[in-house]
Amino acid sequence: MSDQQAQKQAAAKAALSYIEDDMILGVGTGSTVNCLIELLPTLRLAGAVASSQVTEDKLRALGIEIVDLNFAGQLDVYIDGADEVNEHLQLIKGGGGALTREKIVAAASNKFICMVDESKSVEWLGREFPVPIEVLPQARSYVARQLARLGAEPVYREDFVTDYGNVILDTYDLDVSNPLALEQQLNNIVGVVCNGIFAANQADVLLKAGSNGVTTLTR
């Protein structure tokens, strides 16, 4: 097992302490979340709200009941990973293309727990990892031109369609020095469904796994 995989598993184990019996749990998407999903059958959950079809399928395969967010109401806890996280617990997510569903479930939860290995911790968001932007298919070219006006380089994610039937523009060279302002600015572009900056819905708790164990940061 690689060090990175061991760190992901350590972060997932640390997240278990935030889950209570008979809870309807919000469950994210990605490689670190997959480590958590493997541990969930040991718990007594009332059900789970999944942030992607991929996660939903994994949970169903383990016999965990899937609950529609419209009927679940406000969730106590949502647990997910991130592609990048800064010291303010602001994130870039969406490498797996589930950013819109992830942001909806995060917004509908009282507490957002983010699990990462140390490679995901950065000083500045967006320097290494592009900002994924979910776009209505008809608006793809228009949105790309608007992003280029901001000095960015949008790259169409080929052969990928989101759970909502939309496309992704992986956007490089954006100035993410003010994540909250940029998140709002991108959402104001006509045709943008959602973007992968989680600043308005930043994490409440960060579980960062490294070679010396798991560090807990809160905002």
Q: Is 102 a catalytic residue?
A: yes
Q: Which domain holds residue 173?
A: 131-194
Confidence of residue 126 (pLDDT cuts 50, 70, 90): very high
Q: Rounded to whole angstroms, how far apart are CA atoms 139 and 91?
A: 25
Per-residue pLDDT tens digits for 69-83: 999 999 999 999 999
What does the pLDDT average to over 106-111?
A: 97
Confidence of residue 2 (pLDDT cuts 50, 70, 90): confident
Residue 68 and residue 39 share a domain? yes
Q: How many independent structural domains does the chain possess? A: 2
Q: Rounded to whole angstroms, how far apart are CA atoms 101 and 114?
A: 15
Is pLDDT at 156 greater than 80 in this prediction?
A: yes
Residue 115 and residue 139 share a domain? no
What does the pLDDT average to over 25-43?
A: 95
Q: Which two tokens stand for residue 22?
A: 């008979």
Q: Rounded to whole angstroms, how far apart are CA atoms 156 and 154?
A: 7
Residue 162 and residue 115 share a domain? no
Is pLDDT at 133 greater than 90 in this prediction?
A: yes
Is pLDDT at 164 greater than 80 in this prediction?
A: yes
| Annotated catalytic residue within 102, 118, 134, 153 | 102
Per-residue pLDDT tens digits for 167-198: 999 999 999 999 999 999 999 999 999 999 99
Residue 83 and residue 29 share a domain? yes
Residue 208 and residue 163 share a domain? no
pLDDT at residue 3, rounded to an integer: 87
Confidence of residue 6 (pLDDT cuts 50, 70, 90): confident
Domain CATH for 119 = 3.40.50.1360
Q: Which two tokens stand for residue 206?
A: 């960060």
Is pLDDT at 219 greater than 90 in this prediction?
A: no
Residue 9 and residue 87 share a domain? yes
- Chain-centroid distance of CA 62 in Å reads 22
Amino acid at 162: T
Is pLDDT at 64 greater than 80 in this prediction?
A: yes
Q: Rounded to whole angstroms, how far apart are CA atoms 103 and 10?
A: 24
Residue 137 and residue 94 share a domain? no
Is pLDDT at 61 greater than 90 in this prediction?
A: yes
- HSE, side-chain direction, 13 A CA sphere, residue 214: 19
Residue 35 and residue 59 share a domain? yes
Instruction: State percent of the chain over pLDDT 90.
Output: 94
Residue 32 and residue 98 share a domain? yes
